[in-house]
Homo-oligomer: A and B are copies of this chain.
Amino acid sequence: MVTPNSAPPSRILLGPGPSMTDPRVLEALATPPVGHLDPYLLQLYREEQELLRGVFQTHNEWTFAVSGTGTSGMEAVLVNLIEPGDSVLCATNGYFGERLADIGSRCGGNVDRVTRPWGEVFTVEEIETALKKKRYKLLTIVHAETSTGALQLNIREIAEAAHKHGALLVLDTVTSLGGVEVKLDEWDVDTAYSASQKCLSAPSGLAPVSIGPRARQVIQNRKKPAASFYLDINLYANYWGGTHAYHHTASASLHYALTRALQLVVEEGLEVRFARHRRNGEMLWNGLVDLGLPPLIPLDHRLPVLTTPQLPEILDEARIRSRLLEEQNIEIAGGFGELKGKVWRIGLMGYSSQPQNITRLLDALLLMLST
């Protein structure tokens, strides 16, 4: 119960998200909310949009936060872009690439996959070869695969290949946005989505999305309305902009918090923030190597914000995770799918990415691995 007698535990959140929340963001969250059409909130949206454009590095007018978790952002993009029967190519090298394929199918898309084993990433050439097989409307790819810790490189070249073959590029930036470089305009990405609770360190519940000009045209020229009313991007655009027509009762509380979190990103500076994530990632990697748990992902495509140390087969990894949580209040996550039992997933995202958290984790692991 959320009562004084059984307060929620104070966790150090080093899993794949949510990350920890800056006290200034929690303060914004707790501000008494205004209504969803209050002039104050509509003005806040304008600032939130500008801040989101800043972190996405885009000028896309259609940049806003969908009222749901990161998965709602993924679904919003697909359900608006796909009409039944459209061909969709999904690059899958982990759980979230596969989730895009699942949702693409549910939206009525004819989904083909180009695959790589979990933990690997794609070359531009293999993506282009796959694009040649059929005329695809969409190519989906994950920038930072949360299930493996792999960072997909060469997004600009992949976007170029997609466009050459007439496809739009959908980029999953759930785990990258705010932690590693994301440059939608320079890379010519058609649409991207993310989540509030990872490297942006706001509470979960909002999914930033950005829709570029080509994708916007597709959405505006649909033959039929999207299968989802709740995630209808045309209706979102009318609520955030245009006539501010009522669509759903957006949560002022979550927008206060996300906007505050985005202000803190700007205050820190994107480049400084990326360098901090990189530096702390390296500190963790070195410590893990010393413990005999080297990262699975090769350095050239290793994600600094989510590390997957390889675990010896004899290790009772679930028990160590439980002990970390119960004895030390530290959350890390297990692997899943192809990597279940083989790796942990240790996140250093946003406010969680601090040296003292890494030290606490490594000290606790040293103790537990030696007993």
Q: Mark A32-69, 1 if CB is under 8 A from B, else 0.
A: 11111111100010010000000000000000000111
Whole-angstrom CA separation of A21 from B34 in the bound complex: 10
Point out the residue from B27, B38, B203, B248 that lies within 8 Å of A253, measured CB to CB: B203
Contact A75 B2 (CB under 8 A): no
Whole-angstrom CA separation of A285 from B107 in the bound complex: 47
Point out the residue from B10, B107, B260 that lies within 8 Å of A227, measured CB to CB: B107
Contact B1 A229 (CB under 8 A): no
Point out the residue from B9, B32, B70, B227 that lies within 8 Å of A106, measured CB to CB: B227
Whole-angstrom CA separation of A246 from B17 in the bound complex: 12
Whole-angstrom CA separation of A32 from B254 in the bound complex: 14
Point out the residue from B1, B7, B75 that lies within 8 Å of A230, measured CB to CB: B75
User: Does A357 count as interface, using CB distance less than 8 angstroms?
Assistant: no
User: Does A324 count as interface, using CB distance less than 8 angstroms?
Assistant: no
Q: For A230, list chain B residues within 8 Å (CB).
A: 68-69, 71-72, 74-75, 103, 231
User: Does A119 count as interface, using CB distance less than 8 angstroms?
Assistant: no
| Nearest CB in chain B to that of A246: its residue | B336
Q: How far in angstroms is the closest Cβ of chain B from A254? A: 6
Q: For A3, list chain B residues within 8 Å (CB).
A: 263
User: Does A20 count as interface, using CB distance less than 8 angstroms?
Assistant: yes
User: Does A205 count as interface, using CB distance less than 8 angstroms?
Assistant: yes
User: Does A183 count as interface, using CB distance less than 8 angstroms?
Assistant: no
Contact A18 B35 (CB under 8 A): yes
Interface residues of A toward B: which range? 35 or more
Contact A75 B38 (CB under 8 A): no
| Copies assembled | 2
Contact A18 B2 (CB under 8 A): no
Q: For A9, list chain B residues within 8 Å (CB).
A: 34, 38, 40
Contact A99 B229 (CB under 8 A): yes
Whole-angstrom CA separation of A2 from B33 in the bound complex: 11
Q: How far in angstroms is the closest Cβ of chain B from A208? A: 14
Q: Mark A1-22, 1 if CB is under 8 A from B, else 0.
A: 1110001111101010110110
| Nearest CB in chain B to that of A44: its residue | B2
Q: For A170, list chain B residues within 8 Å (CB).
A: none
Whole-angstrom CA separation of A209 from B254 in the bound complex: 21
Point out the residue from B15, B69, B75 that lies within 8 Å of A228, measured CB to CB: B75
A contact set with B: CB distance below 8 Å: 1-3, 7-11, 13, 15, 17-18, 20-21, 26-40, 44, 47, 67-72, 74-75, 79, 99, 102-103, 106-108, 195, 197, 203-205, 225-231, 246-254, 256-257, 259-260, 263, 325, 331, 333, 336
Supplied contacts A1-B44, A69-B250, A197-B251, 11 more A-B pairs, CB within 8 Å: A8-B252, A9-B38, A13-B34, A18-B36, A21-B32, A38-B325, A39-B325, A69-B248, A69-B249, A205-B253, A251-B254
